[in-house]
Amino acid sequence: MKKLILSLLTLSFLATACTNPDNQIEPAIQSKVPGDVSGKWMWGTFSMSNFWKEGQYAGNPYEQSVVFDFKPNGEYEQYVINATTSYNCRTEAYTYIKGKVKFDEDEQTFTLTPKSGNYRGNYSCAPSKNFKRDAKQSELKGGTFYYEVVVQNGQKKLLIKDTPSDTQAMTLKATSW
C-alpha cells in the first residue's frame, strides 16, 4: 500500500512537469531574478525541521508542498514534499531540484533549466525500503511558466500559471526559513 501511495504521489508531480518536445534539457539559461520574485515561495504546508530530520515526527495525516527559492543571481532550488500518516506509519517522499532560471519580465514568464537533484523516500514502518538517489538526467525536466506577483489580504503572493489566461494558478506565499 505504501509503495502505491508513494508511486501515485511521485507520478502526479512528474505528470505535471512541463518539458520541451524532445525531453531534452536545453543549455543552461539564467538571468537576474526580478526583485519582487527573488526569495522563497511556498504552496501548501510542511515543516522544514521535518524535511531535514525525516522520520522524527509523526506529522499531520497528509502534507503536500512545493517550494521555490529563486536566488538573485538566476539560480533556483525547488523542493516537493509529500507525506502521509496512516495506522501509525509515516510515508514521506522528497524531491529536490537545483538549476538555473531565466525571467522575461516583459512576457511575465520564467524558464527553469534543472541541473541536478535527488529523491528520497522514507517509510517508518518499513525502513529497509527507505531510499535516497540522485535524479537521472532524463528526469530533470525544465519548462516555461507565466507568473504574476500580487498582494492578497496584505500578503505578497506569487501566481504561477501554465498560460497567461490560466484561471487555476498555483498560489505561493512568500516564506523564509
Per residue in 1-36, pLDDT (tens digit) is 333 333 333 434 434 444 444 444 455 577 889 889
What pLDDT, in 10s, does the model give residues 107-163?
A: 999 999 999 999 999 999 999 999 999 999 999 999 999 999 999 999 999 999 999
The number of domains in the chain is 1
CB 84 within 8 A of CB 53: no
> If you write DSSP's letter for every residue of 79-98 in order, what string do you get?
EEEEEEEETTEEEEEEEEEE
3 state SS of 146: strand
Give per-residue pLDDT as tens, 19-78: 444 444 455 577 889 889 999 999 987 655 444 445 555 456 678 999 999 999 999 999
Environment class of 59 (CB within 10 Å of its CB; exposed 0-12, middle 13-18, buried 19+): middle
* Cα-to-chain-centroid distance, residue 146: 16
Coil, strand, or helix at residue 104?
A: strand
pTM here is: 0.75
Provide the domain limits for residue 94. 2-175
